[in-house]
Structure 1
């Protein structure tokens, strides 16, 4: 079987793991060193996720939630609606449009969270937040640190500048890298990259479009340019309960 056939049969991330393993295997090392490395590569292949999907409706259009039994992988904004009405008028229930059959708990939790976000934000603090299992949260990186700080410290109704978020993530001079992290955010709305604005008060970019960003901030009753209160140092109780005992340092879903 040729390489092209393998590409059709194996998920892309499995091929990526194999390629990374082969390159590292070719590096000079003793046989004693190679054995544990091979176990690590095979272990990562065993962690392949069986993805499930759920679609919910929202004032912004359809939102596609993806995840595995270990946690949430993504939220995609498919649009289809123009957010040109006031938040109070437009905040209709997020109708669950997923197919029949069992739906994984992380997807159900995310759908419930989104429904509350659009309909009754006051109850968000009491809702569990699904574990996160997108690959970006499974290894240490500045992007992971930025997204983690944004998730846990910048609350509903607050905004933060790119530079302030860089400082919260431990590198005040990395405002540009924070912009890159926002573009890499796989779970918008839940991880609120719409709350990150320019120091000048300008809106800044947003993957779903500036109009969507403006709508989300207006829905939260917070004008752009007003920074989050203080610096913060820990998650609130409701976040900590959803993210486990290590909530102050790493995402849920990481084994």
Structure 2
């Protein structure tokens, strides 16, 4: 059980019978370690740095002595790299331009995946992407890249023109141009960040609710509630397995959409 779960559990238990169960709140996701406010060093940022160090160590350790017959670690690294390189970058961006974007897409996928999986791996049990600032930062990287490559290829005016579907009657441009600009500059980055954040936030909140609720019923409930508490813990185990699948899918979807947006900026036609 993670530290935030333990802390919330202790508060619920100390409240006594009169106070009742204290459901988890969004405050569980803000855990300052040093300082307070916007510039505090929080648990999410520490977990993020740990993930970067862990990924770097694993990649170096598994590729430093690469062999024709791969070790288990090398096999895992090559499998993930091959999926991102061939299944995402090459198939979506195209064989002509994909190679220069493979490092970015590989870094995005591995960072998001590891930080998502931290949500169900003890003793961390905290998905870093459940803090909205982290998905926003990654989305800004993707936003800058796909606009930069489009401007570099077509020029600023050509990049904007590239957003408009060809063959439309001129009068419709009055409606289409604002909609396309909103799509490319607001809707895409907003949904990219919120999709990742929302899934990680909601999944972790559900796990907290079932674990804390089950613990409260076992400690403070009557016999019937204690049975329900056992069921709550069992359901939390099922949700943990389901959450692991969601965490992988969200890393894949984020990387897939990043590749799709880059491919759209590089396309010769809309």
Q: TM-score range by the shorter chain?
A: under 0.3
Higher helix proportion, which one? 2
- Higher gyration radius (CA): 2
**Bigger relative contact order, structure 1 or 2 (CA pairs below 8 A, ≥6 apart):** 2
Task: Give me the TM-score of the superposition, normalised by structure 1.
Answer: 0.20
Task: Give me the TM-score of the superposition, normalised by structure 2.
Answer: 0.19
